[in-house]
């Protein structure tokens, strides 16, 4: 009976880059965690941040210690949890997401199994509707529409993503194409640290004879990047550059985590990870898997619901 009780100890680890802005943390991260807690009452729900800088800042300022992803899994193992499901709040499968995926891979394929089951859900944008897989982009766009202002020929929305050198950041360019396919021709996305650039967006706005621009973070939280890189008063901020280019600019200062439709997407991705192991596989010890028990990862290009990221194959805010 004690073994059965141990096996039934199930936990969900909600993993994000994190933020040191207290109100933003409450509105964008805690809100998603609470949504998940409501949707999965039989699970212990925990928090982990992947940013060591954010964790250190909060500890020094507030005296509050938040686990990183490694510490959180070690704690769950120590406390006897046997089923663990990680749901990342990352936007794209970039560097921060890979950090978590590598960790799950380590646990899933260790000789000494810490957990009977460990699985990782998809970030906001992953699969593209190929074969029978969901189109995460279309679903995210439908959720985004809830927060867009009324469309007009001389008005546009410019979304700010994070970006970076990781190839997963090509998701932002794919999102731009998906926005166009959805008929949102005056909604554009640029990234702080990559492609598409704000300069290219400004050129498109001028071609369309746009007069008014609404800046909007396409980030989980409206934190440091939204405050400084997007809406700051420095001349290199997006707002300042757009004003200098002749546009009237207003700012929608809310992270995606405040959007209940976005929250529901993370819940759906987690539900898929729990209910639908890919190809009949479960990242578990001793369950008689096919293909020598391998659990395929998203890095194979599969968009299967609930992939177990765990055979070593191959974001801030």
- pTM for the whole structure: 0.85
14 neighbors 89 (Cβ within 8 angstroms): yes
Residue 289 confidence (pLDDT): 39
263 neighbors 31 (Cβ within 8 angstroms): yes
pLDDT tops 60 at residue 261:
yes
Q: What mean pLDDT do residues 18-38 have? A: 96
Residue 10 confidence (pLDDT): 97
Residue 278 confidence (pLDDT): 52
Respond yes or no: is residue 296 known to be catalytic. no
> Comparing 111 with 88, which gets the higher pLDDT?
88
What order of strands is seen across the sheet that includes strand 117-120? 44-49, 10-16, 83-88, 117-120
Give me the phi and psi of 34, to 5 degrees please. Answer: -65, -35
Domains and CATH numbers, the chain: 2-127+259-300 (3.40.50.1400), 148-253 (3.40.50.1400)
Reported as half-sphere exposure (CB side, CA atoms, 13 A), residue 232 has a value of: 12
Q: Is 64 helix (H, G, I), strand (E, B) or coil?
A: coil
Class of residue 219 by CB neighbours under 10 A (exposed 0-12, middle 13-18, buried 19+): buried
The catalytic position among 162, 269, 281, 296 is 162
């Amino acid at each position: 009976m004690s073994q059965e009780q141990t096996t039934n100890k199930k936990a969900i680890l909600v993993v994000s880059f994190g933020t040191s802005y207290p109100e933003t943390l409450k509105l964008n991260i805690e809100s998603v965690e609470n949504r998940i807690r409501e949707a999965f009452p039989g699970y212990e729900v925990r928090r982990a941040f992947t940013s060591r800088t954010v964790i250190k800042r909060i500890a020094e300022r507030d005296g509050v210690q938040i686990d990183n992803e490694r510490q959180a899994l070690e704690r769950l193992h120590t406390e006897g949890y046997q089923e663990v499901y990680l749901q990342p709040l990352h936007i794209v499968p970039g560097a921060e997401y890979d950090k978590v995926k590598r960790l799950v891979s380590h646990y899933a394929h260790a000789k000494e199994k810490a957990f009977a089951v460990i699985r990782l859900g998809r970030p906001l944008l992953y699969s593209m509707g190929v074969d029978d897989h969901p189109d995460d982009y279309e679903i995210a766009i439908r959720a985004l529409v809830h927060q867009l202002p009324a469309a007009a020929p001389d008005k546009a929305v410019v979304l700010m993503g994070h970006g970076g050198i990781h190839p997963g950041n090509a998701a932002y360019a794919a999102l731009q194409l998906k926005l166009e396919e959805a008929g949102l021709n005056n909604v554009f996305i640029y990234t702080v640290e990559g492609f598409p650039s704000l300069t290219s967006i400004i050129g498109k706005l001028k071609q369309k004879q746009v007069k008014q621009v609404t800046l909007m973070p396409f980030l989980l939280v409206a934190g440091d990047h939204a405050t400084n890189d997007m809406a700051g008063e420095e001349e290199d901020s997006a707002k300042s550059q757009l004003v200098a280019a002749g546009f009237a600019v207003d700012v929608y200062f809310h992270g995606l985590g405040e959007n209940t439709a976005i929250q529901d997407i993370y819940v759906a991705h987690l539900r898929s990870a729990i209910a639908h192991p890919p190809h009949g596989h479960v990242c578990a010890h001793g369950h008689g898997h096919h293909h020598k028990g391998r659990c395929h990862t998203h890095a194979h290009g599969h968009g299967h619901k609930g992939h177990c990221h765990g055979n070593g194959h191959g974001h801030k805010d």
